[in-house]
Amino acid sequence: MKHFYLLSIGLVLISCSNPEASEDNENQAEDQRPDSTQHNDSDMPEQNTKPENSELEEAHDRTVVFYNVENLFDTEDDPNTSDDDFTPDGFKQWDETRYLKKINDLSTVLSSISDDNPALIGLAEIENKKVLVDLIHAPKLRGKNYSIVHEESPDNRGIDVALLIDEDVFKYEYHESIRIDFPWDSDIKTRDILHVVGHFQNNDKVHIFVNHWPSRRDGIPETEPKRLEVAGRLREKLDDIYLDENDPKIIVMGDFNDGPDNKSVEYVLNCMNTNSVLKGQHDLKEDQLMNLSYPHLLSIDFKHNELGTLVHDGQWEILDQMMCSQAALLNKEGIVVESIGASIFNPDWILYKRKDGSSTPNKTYGGPKYYGGYSDHLPVYLTLKNAQ
């Protein structure tokens, strides 16, 4: 049974129940749940904080953000998931003080990325509706008209993806959860892909995909088939959009647990290095995505402390990425992406400096040890502009 909620701050779209623990920090269990479902305006509450016929504000200079927030759990035990560690009496001693600190810290990060709060915020590793509601009510985000699009995922640990929408800038139309099945083992489950459709000013339609692909925890080659399967499922959905629409505007974001040059992203998803395409080094096919995070891969140098989005086995990686369709980057009308490269938000205060001078994301936990930082990932973002 699906339940939908209307908050004074905006529209919350969710299905009920399911929670639990981190991804890149600790033991993982891969997931579980039913089929892809679609929701549209007929499913939405009759009232909305923004009147139906009111004008949307301009999205020029607004940002679109993705952030893996590292185990944003509430402090309550959910009997349907293995979230026991994230309770006051659990292994992590996750109490109300630590929870509220994390909520406030994350709101500080999200509100600091640009002069105006982001138009769209994709999130990974959030437990449930409650933590999202608390986040948009945190002091640094409270003044914005954010609504929540969220579906419970089958992850045994209960972590999901979600999208926060500034309703003053972006009009929600419908969403769906894209279910992932692994043909070689029906017991393996993973998080759904969240597909949200809406528009900016002047009915400028955009497809948004929020991803959190299966972890590398059991080894990169051992777990790669799972990510290839998810990439293939997303590619199928993209192909359907290209068949139905001319020059669709699409933004794909997420923690892919693979880099821009890995097979799942570059070949199965068919996502090209933006720089090489624009320099004419590759012929561009109509349905190919542009990987806005690829330029960062070319500049990573751990010895010189140039940053990726997270540190894995002592090395910076670009696993959190932003991609878009050609129309979202090169179109001559409506809202487009400002730059050929996405940005990584990495001010000094969000990092932990080691004694040797190198940096790492200032995370909340390292195994059982509480550090009280923001997340083990850094946010990535792109900026929107009016097409010329």
Angle ∠(26,121,367) on CA atoms, nearest 5: 15
> How far apart (Å, rounded) are the C-alpha atoms in residues 23 and 255?
11
Neighbours of 52 (CB within 10 A): 8
The whole-number average pLDDT for the span 187-192 is: 88
Comparing C-alpha atoms, which of 57, 100, 56 is closest to residue 75?
Answer: 100
Question: What is the structure's pLDDT at 266?
Answer: 93
Burial of 366 (0-12, 13-18, 19+ CB in 10 A): middle
280: which residues sit within 8 A by CB, 6+ positions away? Answer: none
Comparing C-alpha atoms, which of 234, 244, 242, 211 is closest to residue 328?
Answer: 242
Between 113-117, 147-151, 234-238, 296-300, the lowest mean confidence (pLDDT) is in 296-300
> Do residues 286 and 345 touch, judged by C-beta distance below 8 A?
no
- Asked if pLDDT for residue 172 goes beyond 60, the answer is yes
- Asked if pLDDT for residue 128 goes beyond 50, the answer is yes
Would you call 41 helix, strand, or coil by DSSP? helix
Question: What is the structure's pLDDT at 14?
Answer: 41
Question: What is the structure's pLDDT at 156?
Answer: 79
Q: What's the mean per-residue pLDDT of the chain?
A: 84
- Asked if pLDDT for residue 336 goes beyond 80, the answer is yes
The whole-number average pLDDT for the span 305-316 is: 82
- Asked if pLDDT for residue 103 goes beyond 60, the answer is yes
- Band the pLDDT of 66: cuts 50, 70, 90: very high
> Over the stretch 198-212, which tens digit does the pLDDT of each residue have?
999 999 999 999 999
- Band the pLDDT of 52: cuts 50, 70, 90: low
- Band the pLDDT of 303: cuts 50, 70, 90: very low
- Which range of 63-77, 289-303, 355-369 scores highest in mean pLDDT? It is 63-77
Question: What is the structure's pLDDT at 332?
Answer: 87
The whole-number average pLDDT for the span 332-350 is: 91
pTM of the model: 0.87
240-278 burial code (b ≥16 CB/10 A, e <16): ebeeeeeebbbbbbbbbbbbbebebbbebbebbbbbebe
Question: What is the structure's pLDDT at 285?
Answer: 80
Domain at 2-386: CATH code: 3.60.10.10
Question: What is the structure's pLDDT at 137?
Answer: 96
- Asked if pLDDT for residue 239 goes beyond 80, the answer is yes
Question: What is the structure's pLDDT at 299?
Answer: 60
Tokens of 130: 């409650």
Spans of all domains in the chain:
2-386
- Asked if pLDDT for residue 34 goes beyond 50, the answer is no
In angstroms and rounded to an integer, the radius of gyration of the C-alpha atoms of the chain is 19
